[in-house]
Amino acid sequence: MSVTSITSVLTDPGFRLPLGDWVDAGVDGLIATFGGLFDLIRTVLIGGFEAVETVLITPPMWIVALVLAGLAYLAKGWRLALGALIGFLVVQGVDQWGNAMASLALVLVASAIALAIGIPMGIWAASSDRVSAAVRPVLDFMQTMPAFVYLIPVVIIFSVGPVPGLVATIVFALAPGVRFTELGIRQVDQEVVEAGHAFGSTPRRILRQIQLPLALPTIMAGVNQVIMLSLSMVVISGLVGAAGLGRDVVSALSRVNVSLGFEAGLAVVILAMYLDRITSALADRSPVAKALRTTSA
Amino acid sequence: MPALRAEGVYKVFGRRPGEAVRRLQAGASVEDVKPHGTAAVIDASFEVADGETFVVMGLSGSGKSTLIRMLNGLWRPTSGRVMIGDTDISGISGRELRALRQQRVSMVFQHFALLPHRSVLDNAAYPLALQDVDRTERRRRAGEALEMVGLAGWEDHLPSQLSGGMRQRVGLARALAAGTDILLMDEAFSALDPLIRREMQEQLLELQQTLGKTIVFITHDLNEAMHLGDRIAVMREGRIVQIGTSEQILSDPATDYVAQFVADVDKTRVLTAASVMVRPAAVVTTGAGPRVALREMREAQASAAYLVDRDRTLRGVLRDDDVVQALRDGSDSLVDLTRDEVTAVSTETLLMDVFAPSAETPLPVPVVDDRGRLVGVIPRVTLLEAMSRNLADPTTVSADADPAALDGTTTEVSA
Ligand SMILES: Nc1ncnc2c1ncn2[C@@H]1O[C@H](COP(=O)(O)OP(=O)(O)OP(=O)(O)O)[C@@H](O)[C@H]1O
Ligand SMILES: [Mg+2]
């Protein structure tokens, strides 16, 4: 076919590239073939989410708040702990504590799964240029494709509730876990890695004793990013029926309820600050970060 | 049997290394095979005897690092054989190779390559941990190695708390703790300041007298090569152009290239100021007053002192009579008293170019680095000594000239 005939087909007003139809057919095909797998994923995600949510919601508010503030104290110090406690009281004060804990459960489960997939992927990508080149466009796709778009097939596959929200969050938050891990490992001084080889270490031991510890500050920055991105998906999760702050934001939007929207939104911000400060404090506490701060006796 | 042997070793990086080697063997030049790959090492053959220090010298990019990395199998030769004792390491499995590195060959790196998050002791013990030596034994042997390199008492510090010279001592201690007979050192001292570098060279020679390791030492510095090497291999563009003792290389260079390298067999044209300089006896900083300056001179039994800024930038020379006069006049500033009767030379200045400045003054000629900081001095006697010494034996010059080089770590702790 000549170039002119292709262009004439493409510009013909009756012609349309049936990309959407193909995706439609693809989703149907997916459900038909992998139905069992999707059920399994669904069961695992719901199980994980409900377990964490139960732990956070069942005890009285003040016990959970004190424990979370205690973690802040261990990670950073009493200032952060105090700040966290005040923040939690505000959340309780606007009657969003239950929602906040549901959202926290969602963020924790989604981040944990995103990291459980992302960090090993990052390690793999760091070890091979070919894997790295293959993974990169997939990550770009996952991160830049508007979440609403893949939310539709995800809802078709998993129906409404916490699961589609979790899946969409994991997909969206996965990329920095992979990227930062790969970057961190590739940035490790090659001479030190070579020293590992030169003294007869195995690649696995070099990964454990040299590459991962030295990459840890960067990986922790990735962990922080994963958690922050997960939190940013809370509203979208609310849209597809996950309980929590997101659902209140969505209903505030549909009812044009400014005060409810603001209160739920504020609770999201407080959660975000808490999680951000804790993860950055943990990054600063890694042995390498400490060693690099120490100069001259 | 030699401790180490390379037989017709080639290393080509690129898309078709095998083809490149075949063409090189058929007489093609490096340029001819460029489309097939970069020839980093071409037909290298040599033997290193037990207990010998074998230096590989060449300019940047001549293939030294590539060559040394094939000696412990970090990189596999494209063609040829490397023998450690009677083991051909090109043909062995990954597991055997690791065992060989643990037991037979260890390495010291240009930028030290220490684990920044582990203590000095744990760094030195690293090879022993890989050998599954138990913890107490490991700490004992690592401690011994640290003591050998003069780092006793620094065990619990982190590498970042140490000066460059001390870090490389840890690197050396780590290689010694491994307990291997063969030591590979890739530009091990190149990243260090000139005086520290000289101290490390002395220390290595001293250790070598008692330990008798087989050492392959890479350097791009002729002074260092001649100072340390029992034999020297000169590399150029991937090929070894000559192997011999420093005397042979000085007196009978195999090619024009080597001849140029060791120019005119006149070591005042080969040796640099850095290689013979000694520690300045009396140094005063600009902040000090006349009293301090006089005390400094008295202690050093010198009639003059070098005046430097806080960052050791050389400002000039102070004479004792000027300072005494200033003290009588009640003047406080030393800067106004300096005379610029002495011309400073740079560390890279060849000895032949130090004669003129030295003739101008009875004082030792100050040596400054590229930022104008005082790093050493050359007394006239040192210069004359260097010149009068047997021309084919320049290696001992630097050893005798600097008694300070032999004592301990004083300079680096403060550095
Ligand atoms: N991994 C690699 N891939 C491709 N080319 C390489 C690689 N390593 C080295 N080379 C090339 O091989 C040649 C020799 O490099 P090598 O590092 O062995 O030189 P060197 O003598 O150690 O130099 P320097 O003094 O700069 O360390 C150079 O041209 C270099 O560009
Ligand atoms: Mg090199």
- Average pLDDT, integer, range B242-251: 81
**In the predicted model, is pLDDT for residue A14 greater than 90?**
no
The total of other beta-carbon atoms located within 10 Å of residue A293's CB is: 10
B64-67: long-range pairs with CB below 8 Å, 24+ = B64/B186, B64/B187, B64/B218, B64/B220, B64/B235, B65/B186, B65/B187, B65/B218, B66/B11, B66/B40, B66/B41, B67/B6, B67/B9, B67/B11, B67/B41, B67/B218, B67/B235
Residue B139, both tokens: 């700490």
**In the predicted model, is pLDDT for residue B406 greater than 60?**
no
> Is residue A167 within 8 Å of B90, Cβ to Cβ?
no
Q: Is A239 exposed, middle or buried, given 0-12, 13-18 or 19+ CB atoms closer than 10 A? A: buried
pLDDT at B399: 36
What pLDDT, in 10s, does the model give residues B105-161? Answer: 999 999 999 999 999 999 999 999 999 999 999 999 999 999 999 999 999 999 999
For chain A, give the longest Cα–Cα distance: 78
Q: What does the alpha-carbon distance between residue B353 and residue B371 come to, in Å, rounded to a whole number?
A: 20
> Is residue B9 within 8 Å of B75, Cβ to Cβ?
no
| Beta strand residue intervals within B112-230, DSSP E | 182-186, 214-219
Ligand 1 in reach of B102 Cβ (< 6 A): no
Interface touch B160/A294, C-beta < 8 Å: yes
At B46, give phi and psi (nearest 5°): -165, 165
pLDDT at B293: 87
How far, in Å, from the CA of B24 to the mean position of ligand 1? 18
**Could you tell me the CA-to-CA distances from A101 to A95, A235, A245, A282, B413 in Å, in that order?**
12, 14, 9, 22, 55
User: What 8-state DSSP symbol labels residue A77?
Assistant: -
pLDDT at A111: 96
The band of B197, judged by pLDDT with boundaries at 50, 70 and 90, is confident
Q: What does the alpha-carbon distance between residue B222 and residue B397 come to, in Å, rounded to a whole number?
A: 14
At B252, give phi and psi (nearest 5°): -140, 65
In a domain, A18, yes or no: no
Interface touch A189/B113, C-beta < 8 Å: yes
Ligand 1 in reach of B13 Cβ (< 6 A): yes
B396 against B384, higher pLDDT: B384
Q: What does the alpha-carbon distance between residue A178 and residue B386 come to, in Å, rounded to a whole number?
A: 61
pLDDT at A130: 95
pLDDT at B370: 85
For chain B, give the longest Cα–Cα distance: 82
pLDDT at A88: 95
Residue B42, both tokens: 């071409």
In a domain, A183, yes or no: yes
Residue A79, both tokens: 């200032």
Cross-sheet strand order for the sheet of B314-319: B283-285, B304-308, B314-319
What pLDDT, in 10s, does the model give residues B33-45? Answer: 889 999 999 999 9
The band of B407, judged by pLDDT with boundaries at 50, 70 and 90, is very low
- Tell me the average pLDDT of chain A: 89
Query: What type of residue is A192?
Result: V
In this structure, of A50-54, A99-103, B259-263, the range with the lowest mean pLDDT score is B259-263
Nearest ligand for residue B56 CA: 1
pLDDT at B363: 84
What pLDDT, in 10s, does the model give residues A196-214? Answer: 999 999 999 999 999 999 9
In a domain, A80, yes or no: yes
B328 against B335, higher pLDDT: B328
pLDDT at A241: 81
- Average pLDDT, integer, range B230-235: 93
- What percent of chain B is modeled with pLDDT above 70? 90
Interface touch B74/A197, C-beta < 8 Å: yes
Residue A143, both tokens: 């991160």
- Tell me the average pLDDT of chain B: 85
- Average pLDDT, integer, range B257-272: 68
Give yes or no for A187 touching B (CB within 8 A).
Answer: no
Residue B366, both tokens: 């100050």
In a domain, A19, yes or no: no
pLDDT at A182: 96
> Is residue A230 within 8 Å of A107, Cβ to Cβ?
yes
In this structure, of A145-154, A217-226, B13-22, B257-266, the range with the lowest mean pLDDT score is B257-266
Nearest residue (CA) to ligand 1, atom 2: B13
User: What 8-state DSSP symbol labels residue B252?
Assistant: S
**In the predicted model, is pLDDT for residue A3 greater than 90?**
no
**In the predicted model, is pLDDT for residue A194 greater than 90?**
yes
In a domain, A13, yes or no: no
Angstroms from B175 CA to nearest CA on chain A: 8
Nearest CA in chain A to B160: A295
pLDDT at B265: 47
How far, in Å, from the CA of B51 to the mean position of ligand 1? 28
Give the structural domain span for A137. Answer: 35-296
> Is residue B174 within 8 Å of B126, Cβ to Cβ?
yes
**In the predicted model, is pLDDT for residue B51 greater than 70?**
yes
What pLDDT, in 10s, does the model give residues B300-313? Answer: 888 888 888 888 88
Ligand 1 in reach of B40 Cβ (< 6 A): yes
Interface touch A195/B107, C-beta < 8 Å: yes
Which residue, among A109, A292, A134, A297, has the nearest Cα to A215 in the 3D structure? A292
What pLDDT, in 10s, does the model give residues A145-182? Answer: 888 887 888 888 888 888 999 999 999 999 999 999 99
Q: Identify which of B158, B159, B178 has the shortest CB distance to residue A199.
A: B178
Per-residue 3-state assignment (H helix, E strand, C coil) for A116-127:
HHHHHHHHHHHH
pLDDT at B401: 36
| Concatenated DSSP letters of B339-369 | B--S--EETT-BGGGTHHHHHT-SSPEEEE-
- What percent of chain B is modeled with pLDDT above 90? 46
pLDDT at B389: 53
Give yes or no for A284 touching B (CB within 8 A).
Answer: no
pLDDT at A235: 85
Residue A173 half-sphere exposure toward CB, CA atoms < 13 A: 31
pLDDT at B266: 57
B315 against A201, higher pLDDT: A201
**In the predicted model, is pLDDT for residue B411 greater than 90?**
no
* CB-CB neighbors (< 8 A) of B84 in chain A: none
Which residue, among B397, B398, B405, B387, has the nearest Cα to B279 in the 3D structure? B405
Interface touch A291/B158, C-beta < 8 Å: yes
Which residue, among B89, B61, B84, has the nearest Cα to B218 in the 3D structure? B61
- Average pLDDT, integer, range B11-17: 92
If one counts the domains in chain A, the total is 1
- At A170, which CATH number? 1.10.3720.10
Angstroms from B66 CA to nearest CA on chain A: 13
In a domain, A103, yes or no: yes
**In the predicted model, is pLDDT for residue A297 greater than 80?**
no
Ligand 1 in reach of B62 Cβ (< 6 A): yes
Interface touch B158/A201, C-beta < 8 Å: no
Query: What type of residue is A249?
Result: V
- Average pLDDT, integer, range B202-211: 89
pLDDT at A1: 53
Roughly what angle, to the nearest 10 degrees, separates helices A97-127 and A78-93? 130
pLDDT at B393: 43
Residues in chain B: 415
pLDDT at B251: 67
pLDDT at B84: 94
**In the predicted model, is pLDDT for residue A127 greater than 90?**
yes
Angstroms from B167 CA to nearest CA on chain A: 12
pLDDT at A26: 84
In a domain, A21, yes or no: no
Provide, for chain B, the percentages of residues in helix, strand and coil under a 3-state DSSP scheme, each rounded to the nearest 5.
45, 20, 35
First to last CA, chain B: 44
Averaging pLDDT over each range in A17-26, B65-74, B244-253, which range is the top one? B65-74
Give yes or no for A21 touching B (CB within 8 A).
Answer: no
The band of B263, judged by pLDDT with boundaries at 50, 70 and 90, is low
What pLDDT, in 10s, does the model give residues A242-271? Answer: 888 888 888 888 888 888 889 999 999 999
In a domain, A41, yes or no: yes
The band of A89, judged by pLDDT with boundaries at 50, 70 and 90, is very high
A152 against A3, higher pLDDT: A152
